Chain A
Amino acid sequence: METVRIEALRKSFGRLEVLKGIDLSVREGEITAVLGPNASGKTTLIKSLLGLVLPDEGRILVLGREIKSDCGYRESVGYMPQEPSFPENLTPGGLLEFISNIRGGVSREEVGRLVEIFKLADFMDKPIGSLSGGTKQKISALLALSFLPKVLILDEPTVGLDPIASSRLKEEILSQRERGVSVILTSHIISEVEELADRVVLLIDGRVKADGTPQEIKERFGERNLERAIARLLETEGGKA
């Protein structure tokens, strides 16, 4: 089943056209990695999905609902930003309570499980300002996963995490897929993409230039390594890594 559908999406900032007609669909229980060089439109695409950027043309449907004037679809979306920025004087527990008031309820069982996985129990009552970057990133993962989302959007999810937390998060992403959650992630760590993604979408200059499984992308360029296959594509397209 299709959970996210993007049709002819266009977005410009002033004269700069960032998205030049993106068509994409994401299926249930699929991990899709959106890759591309800097300024390829990845962030704008992710932000469009979240309602942070308003497209000029085209439409986005999440779970069959057009997102243009309806923020209700975000009840089914979990989001983990690249650089979490939460109010420094709030505790993670307070923040979770606040977000659960907005989102309308949270599964205590799920929160307990995630707190245990990310070893956050000792930090739940401390001000966020006193926590390390890695712990803030874990809290961001906790917030994204606690509300049992059907679509999970992860922007460079393992950046700033130690190897143990990073490995746990990756396991959790894979277990979310088993539950039928659609995961859209961006990452610059190609080994991580190979480990997690069922599908790779390569954006260059605001257009989808490649879309397939990591194996298909490698075969297309006759490379055994995904990173080299992507580099080959970028070289042929004249993109900058």
Chain B
Amino acid sequence: MGKLRYLVFYELRNLVKVRWLWLYLGMLLASNFALLYVSEDLGKVILSSLSITLLLVPLVSAFFSLVHFYDAKNFIRFLISQPMGRSHIFLGKWIALTLFMASLYALGVLMPLAKGLLNSQSALLILSLTLIGMLLSVIFVSIALLVGVLFEDRVKGVSFLISLCIYLSFLHDGLILSVVYLFRDYPLEKVVLALTLLNPIDLARLAIILNMDLAALMGISEAVFKSFLGSPLGVSLSLGVMVLWVLIPTATAVFLFNRKDF
């Protein structure tokens, strides 16, 4: 554990010096302050902030983590030549990146919306949004590191990751709509449910919207989740599957990292 602690500390010290990450925090702060300036309705602010979160967090977390991983590859080789287990080297990077990206997100949301924390109802929504954004950060750091381990070639890795982010952000919903439209004569609830579980961005949106119980903003996935499971179970299931979205890519990446030739 001692070596892992040193590695995490070292990684965090390096991340603090990356200017791009402070720019990311600046963007989160600016957008949330701007939303508060435009509207006094905290519910609307949180929903708009959720839209920004769903667009910005996956892309920034994933892209930065992957580039950071590729940049560190030669040093990773050097670390492997030191008396340190490969799992420690990978987990050191993963822990530092997830901690840092999730903390930046929390700061970017909680600082502008701090006033809302005084009210118990809005506090719950703000904390839900923060938790979901942090979880989304962790998920996309994990996916990015898995891509980094899988693809030796930087260009291929980055291209794949960007395509994946675009697919999950925009195309996956289109796929669900197409399935619903094409097979409208069949009972599709379970299919829609399964397809939704395959997209962490959909799960994040679902968890917040079900939590806020906003029928007007419910899409097909949210409606299916609500009718099938009800709000509390739907939120729990989406959070549970989001945790799986962290665990499965991370465990797979550690497994492959331990067997990889450098």
Contact = CB atoms under 8 A, between A and B. Distances in A.
Given A52-B77, A71-B83, A90 B261 contact: no
Given A53-B261, A79-B78, A79-B81, 9 more contacts: A47-B262, A52-B261, A71-B83, A71-B86, A74-B83, A75-B83, A86-B75, A90-B14, A101-B3
A184 interface: no
Interface of A: 13, 47, 50-54, 71-75, 77, 79, 81, 83-87, 89-90, 98-99, 101-104
A101 B92 CA distance: 14
A74 B82 contact: yes
Contact of B78 (A47, A54, A75, A85): A85
B80 A52 contact: yes
Interface of B: 3, 6-7, 10, 14, 17, 72, 74-75, 77-86, 259, 261-262
A120 B74 CA distance: 23
A131 to B, nearest CB: 15
Nearest to A46: B81
A84 B75 CA distance: 8
B14 A102 contact: no
Contact of A71 (B7, B78, B85): B85
A102 B262 contact: no
B6 A50 contact: no
Nearest to B6: A101
B77 A81 contact: yes
A79 B262 CA distance: 15
B78 A102 contact: no
Given A85-B74, A87-B75, A101-B6, A50 B14 contact: no
B119 to A, nearest CB: 43
Contacts of A72: 83
Nearest to A51: B80
Given A13-B261, A52-B77, A103 B6 contact: no
Nearest to A98: B10
Contacts of A85: 74-75, 77-78
A115 B76 CA distance: 25
Nearest to B260: A54
Top 5 nearest A-B pairs (CB, nearest first) are A85-B74, A74-B83, A50-B81, A101-B6, A75-B83
27 contacts: A13-B261, A47-B261, A51-B81, A52-B80, A52-B262, A53-B261, A71-B84, A71-B86, A72-B83, A74-B84, A79-B78, A81-B77, A81-B78, A84-B78, A85-B74, A85-B75, A85-B78, A86-B78, A87-B75, A89-B14, A90-B14, A98-B6, A101-B6, A102-B3, A102-B6, A102-B82, A102-B84
